[in-house]
Each structure stands twice: as structure tokens, then as C-alpha cells.
A and B are shown apart, each in its own frame.
Chain A
Amino acid sequence: MNWFGLVIGVSTLCIIGMGFAWVIRGERYFGYLWWPYVMGVGIILMVISVLVTNNYGSALLGAMGASLLWGSTELKEQAIRGELGWYPFRDGKMQPPFAKIIKKWKAPSL
């Protein structure tokens, strides 16, 4: 039997689960305007994943990268959830570099 896929599948579920947590916390403290940076880190991890020769490392990095890419598209909706009172709202979020420019871009939402 080949346990690789099941182990990677369960690990991916944990990574996606952590994604829910960091999107909620991250948006609360930093705001949704960090989405391009999160997306960039996700893409970098995805590229690194195909260059790593260890199969477990490669698969987990790929799942983390994809999860970050997905999370970057969830930040905008999470910001609205906070504003609607479904999650705690925090004033004075830490703005990212170039926040004024990023604000003009349409935040992705899938």
C-alpha cells in the first residue's frame, strides 16, 4: 500500500484548516490590503515546491502555496464579515507598503 497520498491529503486538510484561522486573524490585525503580498508568497512557495527533490517537502510546500493563494482571495470577504459583525472588528489595522496603490486594485474573490 502507498500511504503517501493519504498522508499528504490529511496534511493538506490541516494546512487548509490553518488557512481559515490565519485569514480570520490576519485580516483582523493587518487588514485585507495585504492580499498581493500573501498571493506573492503563495506563488513563490508553489515555484519552490517543484524544485524540491524530497517528495514530502515538495507536496507540502505545494499545498501551502496553494492555500496561501486561496487565502489571499478570501481576505476581502473576511474584511466584510468583520464589518458586518460576524467576527470581531479591530480598528487601526497595520497597513501594508503601497496601501494607497493596492486600494485602487480590485481584490480577487473566487
Chain B
Amino acid sequence: MNPSVYNLGMEINLVGLASTAATFLGVWIGHVSVRKIEREVERIWIPSVLALTLGIGLEITSLWADSLVISTICGILGITLLWDSLELAYRQPRRVTKGHAPANPHNPRHARILAEHPEATVIDLLARDPRGVPFSDEEIRAIRGQTK
């Protein structure tokens, strides 16, 4: 019998439940915390290396876990942490540089980005509802010009 399948009136495979929860929580928490940490932390390599180390640690744990449920959770959370490490070190700062994510002027690293990259902005351009029509260059300039 499959040891991960439990009979709760009907057969429930806990591997599926673990995979669902680990994927959604890993992506959700990773997405939110990458934005928050990248915004607040000046020396971004520190959380990036932490995420990398934790991700590798979870992957190694998944290899030695006897339980498929534990192995699944560690495998998925580990890989999302490895991705978060890349997001922290490279992808999110690049979004800030291009103005696709708001810069935090109180963070010295972001203050440098704001000074050196004219596209960078403190405005969250995504904090609006879709309107179904593209913005003109003048409209985007007007939105950006609210503070910069």
C-alpha cells in the first residue's frame, strides 16, 4: 500500500496536499518577501546568500528524508528559495532600476539607483486597476512626474 495515502472515508494522498501547500505558500511568501526585503535591505547579498544556503539545505534534507511528504515539502520550498535568491540578487533590483517596481528613497542602495537611473521611480505604477487601453507616453510621464 502507498504509505502516503490515507483513508479518511475516501483515500487522500498527502503528497498532493503537501505539494499544493508548499507550491502556493512558497510562491506567495517568496513573492511578497522578495519585494519587501529587497526594498528594505541595503546589502542585498546577505539575504540572497541566506536564501541560497537555506534552499540548498532544504534540497539536501529532501534527499535524506524517509517520508515522501517531507521530501516533497523540502524539495519544493528549497527550489523556490533558490529562485528567491536569484530574485533578490538580480531580478528585483533590475525591476527597480527600470521603474517596474517602486524604489525606497530611504534605502541608500535604492537612493543610488534613483540618482543614476532616470527610469527609476518611487511610484508603484502597478497600484491601479486595468482600464483596457494602453497609457500614452505623456500619461506615463505625468504619473512618474508626480514625485520625480
On whether the two chains bind one another, the answer is yes
Q: Name A residues whose Cβ lies closer than 8 Å to a Cβ of B.
A: 1-10, 12-13, 15-16, 32, 46, 49-53, 55, 58-63, 65-67, 69-70, 76-77, 79-86, 89, 107, 110
Tell me whether A9 and B76 are in contact in the complex, defined as CB-CB below 8 angstroms, given that A2-B62, A4-B71, A51-B13 are known contacts. yes
Does B59 belong to the interface (CB within 8 Å)? yes
Q: Name B residues whose Cβ lies closer than 8 Å to a Cβ of A.
A: 2, 4-5, 10-21, 23-24, 27-28, 31-32, 59, 62-66, 68, 70-76, 78-80, 83, 100, 125-126, 128-135, 140
Decide if A76 touches B130 in the complex (CB within 8 Å): yes
Closest 5 CB pairs of A and B: A5-B75, A5-B62, A49-B16, A5-B71, A9-B75
Contacts of B2 in A (CB 8 A): 53, 55
Tell me whether A61 and B16 are in contact in the complex, defined as CB-CB below 8 angstroms, given that A51-B10, A83-B135 are known contacts. yes
Decide if B140 touches A85 in the complex (CB within 8 Å): yes
Contacts of A3 in B (CB 8 A): 63
Contacts of A80 in B (CB 8 A): 125-126, 128-130
The minimal Cβ–Cβ distance linking A71 to chain B, given in whole angstroms, is: 10
Decide if B13 touches A63 in the complex (CB within 8 Å): no
Decide if A12 touches B12 in the complex (CB within 8 Å): no
Tell me whether A5 and B31 are in contact in the complex, defined as CB-CB below 8 angstroms, given that A12-B19, A58-B15, A80-B130 are known contacts. no
* B20, B80, B129: the one within 8 Å of A46 (CB): B20
- The interface residues of chain A, by DSSP majority, are classed as helix
Contacts of A12 in B (CB 8 A): 19, 23, 75-76, 79-80
Decide if A6 touches B130 in the complex (CB within 8 Å): no
Decide if A66 touches B32 in the complex (CB within 8 Å): no
Decide if B134 touches A82 in the complex (CB within 8 Å): yes
Decide if B16 touches A67 in the complex (CB within 8 Å): no
Contacts of A62 in B (CB 8 A): 15-20, 23
Measured in the bound complex, the distance between the Cα atoms of B132 and A82 in whole Å is 9
Measured in the bound complex, the distance between the Cα atoms of B27 and A80 in whole Å is 21
